[in-house]
Amino acid sequence: MSWMLLILVTLALAATIRTLLLIWHTIENRRFARSRMRSPVPRVELRPVSVVVPCKGVDLQLERNLRAVLQQDHPCYEVKFVVDCDRDPACEVIRRVIADMGNGRAELLVAGPATNCSQKIHNLRYAVARVTSRTHVLAFVDSDAQIRSTDWLRRLTARLNEPGVGAVTAYRWMVPVAKGLPNAILCSINASVAWLLGPGPFNVVWGGGWAIRRDLFEAIGVDRRWRSGLSDDLIATCQLKRHGWRIDFEPGCMVHSPIDHSWSSLLEFLRRQYVIGRIYTWPLWSAAFVSSSVGVLGFWGAAAATTIAAVGGSAWAGVFAASLGGLYVLQAIHAAVRQNAGRLYADAGRQAAWVDVLGAPFVATFNWLVMASALFGRRIRWRGITYRLRSDGTIDSISRPADFPEARQPFPRLAPPTRKKAA
């Protein structure tokens, strides 16, 4: 056996071990999720909560999403809907929902355009600065998140006083509103990420739904780090982990996220996620990229080894072909396990499930290529705004298209934030 074939076989073996570990990990996290979702909400004193909901444009089923936020059975909470411009089409929907069911606990805030941080962070900071003085807990919910129960807010905040817990996070289960390969691929990728969350120490905050005690939010300097940053959730994750706090994942707070992507919007979405992840959580991102590389290169390495051996008339051709088939079956089993486990949250649809199972190695390859592309560049486009990032995660420049509602002229390149010299 040549050294090249040996390398390819080694990659295939590593990919096999990786897939077996992921199957086991998914099963264990499914057991954890089922246990949590079957248990009642912990009986604890419910402190006043301020829920911040940043809005931009009319998301799919926006009115339904906002109404769900105001239908929570938490006894003491207020809601701050926040937009960047009073001409945002979301304002009409928000005002209608508030008038219909606000009951005096909801208001619409207009934050204005961001100049030193992402527009979302600017909106969040603007709203947090205006919560009531009685607020004990801050909760954040994205406008495209479909909350599925009236006890969602109680579940999200109930464990915040447990020892070592710094924040509690939800996550999204993507549900396609239309058939199409881009939607099916994204559902597959999202499912593989969702089942990485569990009782372990590697959870991260998801900005679409999370909660933190107000005093801890201030003590660990989340707002300070937000001032010139782009990613609200990964900045919060870094601050929590830097100060030794655990992030608890609450499966009962999983939200539905309706999607309808074209190929271009899918690529833009995925690359944005991976560029942000690379810049803000490099150790975790690089581990994920290495793991993904092992799976993808192992599969195609087995295919290459089979081809080389068959062309060369090697006696090993049958062995390599069997390893390739075995690896394909294992990856399909992993996809089937996560799709079956996903029924705890929602049915992603027959097409998405079949694409995930039958096309598992090909979806993984597509995802790996997008991750690889995110190794280069620090420019992303998010909700119509283009941001250029520095290597430390601070924003270098912000640009808006000429027809952007609040745009008057391009924003200038921002000066790096000043740092105090040590005494």
> Which pLDDT score is estimated for 164?
95
Contact between 15 and 295 (Cβ < 8 Å): yes
Phi, psi dihedral angles at 41 (to 5 degrees): -65, 130
Q: Mind listing the pLDDT tens digit for each residue in 376-411? A: 999 999 988 999 999 999 999 989 887 665 543 333
Ramachandran area for residue 265 (φ above 0: left; ψ -120 to 50: alpha; else beta): alpha
Q: Which residue has the tokens 């100060």?
A: 243
> Which pLDDT score is estimated for 421?
41
Q: Which residue has the tokens 């006894």?
A: 75
Instruction: Give the predicted TM-score (pTM) of the model.
Output: 0.90
The DSSP annotation for 259-301 comes to E---HHHHHHHHHHHHHHHHHH-HHHHHHHHHHHHHHHHHHHH
> Which pLDDT score is estimated for 408?
39
> Which pLDDT score is estimated for 242?
96
The distance from CA 158 to its chain's CA centroid, rounded to whole angstroms, is 22
Give strand pairing partners of 139. Answer: 51, 211
Residues 6 or more apart whose CB falls under 8 angstroms from that of 120 comprise 54, 56, 207, 232, 382, 383
Q: Mind listing the pLDDT tens digit for each residue in 153-211? A: 999 999 999 999 999 999 999 999 888 999 999 999 999 999 999 998 889 999 999 99
Contact between 30 and 343 (Cβ < 8 Å): no
Residues 6 or more apart whose CB falls under 8 angstroms from that of 355 comprise 181, 184, 185, 187, 188, 363
> Which pLDDT score is estimated for 352?
85
pLDDT-flagged residues of the chain (< 50): 407-423
> Which pLDDT score is estimated for 202?
87
> For the chain, which domains are there?
49-281 (3.90.550.10)
Q: How far apart are CA 75 and CA 63, in angstroms?
A: 23
> Which pLDDT score is estimated for 42?
85
For the chain, the average pLDDT equals 91
Contact between 163 and 82 (Cβ < 8 Å): no
